[in-house]
Structure 1
Amino acid sequence: MATAAAENNCVFDLPSLFQVSTAAVLRDLSSHEESLCEMPDSIKQAILHLMSKRGFLTDDNLLKVLFPRLRCLDLSISQVTDKGLQCLPLMRYLQKVDLNSFKEANDRVSSAGIISLCKACPNLQILYLRRNINVTDEAVLELCKNCPYLREFNVGGCFLLTDASLAALGQYSIHLKSLNISSTQITDDGIRQLCNGRCSQLLTEVDMSSCTHLTDEAVENLIMMCPVLRILLFARCPKITENSRVALEERFLSSENAKMKQVSWTIY
């Protein structure tokens, strides 16, 4: 009796007709690409999500699945290059673009593509560009000028970036809260310019790991001038010494509100 009752109450997780249909489009994408432009936004959203997760997005099909009210665009495992980014229409609702490269460096996107992206998306708030090795200071400057609401920015591994990028962020990005500048060419002077900017009062997370030019001065500036900083990562920075750890301890002792969530460093 108990077994029969359990079987009667069993709910089978069957895919909906909508899920089956969108999966069918992806299985024969080449046959459906031309009709993607005519589909309703809700269908484009579902297809775009699947194409993003499976790495199917290219310069040729990207515009066919975009729609004006799109808020998030994941290009992290796509084949999109500068060519695709330079063709983007005005996307006023787009708030997040993920161009992180997870496994190896991405050389398909350069400053030219990023500049086109930020001009097409004036309300961009989150931009991830990790390991996009052809991105330069010029792109960061244009981003800061064109996207005033930027609050999360990841350029870890973009090794062409210098203090000029931090100067631009300090000058223009007044809403910036999270910043990853690991493995770049920044120096203490760049950190000083960032901390002198208005974003210093909002910065909660800074990752500057593997920045080989930084010294204790960079850490001291951040902990003194960024009162709400909660995550600070400076591992593999060979010029940073034990003095930075001492400065952090002094901050904890001098302020009841100086509670860090994560601190990471390497002692040489």
Structure 2
Amino acid sequence: MSVYKLVDLSEYCIAKYFEQIVRDQLTTIRLLPVNLKVRLFFLLTQRGLIDDSNILVLLNSRTQVFDFHDCHITDETLSIMSKCSLNSQIERQRQISTTIDHQTMPVLNPTVVYINDRISDDGWIKFIHEYLNLRKIHLNNCPLITDKSLYSIGQCCHRLIELDLNGCMNISDEGIKELKCLLHIKSLGLAQTSITDMALYSIGQASFKHMLQEINVKQCQNITDDGFMYLLSNCPNLRTIGFLHCPKLTELSRQSLGPHTHQFSYVVWSIPV
């Protein structure tokens, strides 16, 4: 019979009754040691229990991966996190702020962010200008994210290696063009966006074209063989590629996936009959 550690049982109880604990014992949660906040933040985000109303009590300086895939957050969460950047806190100190929340805010240094659904350009752009060291950004199924956000990513996130925009239907060719000066992009998710061949041309001319190893253009309705083959010819290190349900791609695109040009480890495609 296994014996659970007291800390594990405590974490389980806090997670199970989190809403009640935040409501009744807010000060106690705020005063938890950082190592416990790290573990609780991970556990609660995995359970989808973090939202705009409670995130501040568990924010801490050690968490660098913020996985909000299963959480219901909005621009308000991004605004709270933006106020926790080093620059924001220095500015508040300069202005001699006396607000309790400002004094107790931790300094954040996020490197990985996973977000779904309910954020907009306004919230994201403010956030991105506070955190320039992001390495991985996943903005999935965010209909309010547009090319404006990509402009900010292109201007601010020079260390970025992974960008997932799958399901962001308002991303277009103009936004992809704004990424051209990034140097380190290895993975790019563009499934179910509004890109055309022009976006693939931009990727094939981008500074990261030799770094790119993975791309997903699933259900991109307007890309054709011309753009697809241009991408392949200019991105020699592609290893993983997905082009399911792209109605304008033909057998010509599949035939261009020759072993003499690329060493693919994973390819998913469907070609219309």
TM range (shorter): 0.7 to 0.9
Secondary structure of the residue aligned to 1:198 is: coil
Q: Sequence identity of aligned pairs in percent?
A: 26
How many angstroms does 1:62 deviate by? 0.9
Instruction: Write the mapping of 1:1-268 to structure 2, written as runs, cut at 5 A.
Output: 12-26=1-15, 27=17, 28-29=20-21, 30-88=23-81, 89-90=84-85, 93-100=109-116, 106=117, 108-171=118-181, 173-249=182-258, 252-253=259-260, 255=261, 258-268=262-272
Task: Tell me which amino acid in the other structure corresponds to 1:180.
Answer: G
What residue in structure 2 maps to residue 7 of structure 1? none
2-side partners of 1:19 and 1:31: how far apart?
A: 21
Q: Which amino acid aligns with 1:162?
A: S
- Cα distance in 2, alignment partners of residues 50 and 13 from structure 1: 21
Q: CA deviation at 1:34?
A: 3.4
Query: CA-to-partner distance for each residue in 1:74-94, whole Å, 9 max, x for gaps?
Result: 111112111111121116531
CA distance in 1, matches of 2:256, 2:194: 24
TM-score, length-scaled by structure 1: 0.87
Q: Cα RMSD between the aligned structures?
A: 1.5
User: Structure 1: 5+ residue runs without aligned partners?
Assistant: 1-11, 101-105
- Alignment check: 8 A CA contact 1:140 1:165 kept: yes
Instruction: State the shift of 1:15 in Å.
Output: 1.6
The Cα offsets for residues 48-82 of structure 1, whole Å up to 9 and x where unpaired, read as 01210111111121121111232111111112111
* Aligned amino acid, residue 109 of structure 2: Y
Which secondary structure state, in structure 1, belongs to the residue aligned with residue 178 of structure 2? helix
Question: Residue type of the partner of 1:242?
Answer: E
Structure 1 segments of 4 or more deviating over 3 A?
A: none
SS at 2:80 equivalent? coil
- In the alignment, structure 2 segments of 5+ residues that lack a partner are 86-106
* Residues 50 and 33 of structure 1: CA distance in aligned 2, closer, same or farther (over 3 Å): farther
| Distance in 1 between residues matched to 2:43 and 2:26, nearest whole Å | 14
Q: How many residues align?
A: 245
Distance 1:97 1:165 in 2: 19
Provide Cα deviations, 1:183-222, integer angstroms capped at 9, x if missing partner.
Answer: 1111111111111111101000000011111001121122
Deviation at 1:17, TM superposition (A): 0.9
Other structure's SS at 2:143 match: strand
Maintained 8 Å contact 1:212/1:238: yes
SS in 2 for 1:133: coil
Distance 1:72 1:32 in 2: 26
Paired residue type of 2:35: S
| Alpha-carbon displacement from aligned partner over 1:131-153 (angstroms, at most 9, x marks no partner) | 11111110111122122111111
